[in-house]
Amino acid sequence: MDFYNVTKYPSDIANFYNVTKYPSNIANFYNFTKYTSDIANFFNVTKYPSDIANFYNVTKYPSDIANFYSVTKYPSDIAHFYNVTKYPSDTANFYNIYFSGFVLFNKTVSSEYIYCVTSAFNSAHVRP
């Protein structure tokens, strides 16, 4: 599954974040209806880099991160995608998408970023 391929597989992304199918901690975090502003703030790597670093710190939260993102199977993919030090603009702009009918973040994402980010994740997240 091309999980992050927002061009070709938007429904896959929507299904993955279906809050009715996952553990309560994940459901609460990605509950778009109740916590839209929290999600927007969380993924704003320009203003809140420490929040991103803390949440994806697999040392502090090994079980939550491992269960949700399967870091055991795909550690390099996860590291690449969430590398906010090397790719802050790509990470920030990747989340500027229309997502299951919700506009999560600002609408200033450019077609150049969409191409750059989707191209990177198309190759990084193809699963056997």
Asked whether residue 79 is domain-assigned, the answer is yes
Q: Is residue 71 part of a domain?
A: yes
Q: 18-27: per-residue pLDDT in tens?
A: 433 444 444 4
Residue 105 belongs to some domain of the structure: yes
In this prediction the pTM is 0.13
In total, how many domains does the chain have? 1
Residue 3 lies in a domain: no
5 located within any domain: no
Handedness of CA 104, 108, 109, 111 (dihedral sign): positive
Domain membership of residue 75 (yes or no) is yes
pLDDT in tens, 86-119: 444 444 444 433 333 333 333 333 344 344 444 4
Q: Is 40 inside a domain boundary?
A: yes
Q: Residue 43 is part of which domain span?
A: 10-124
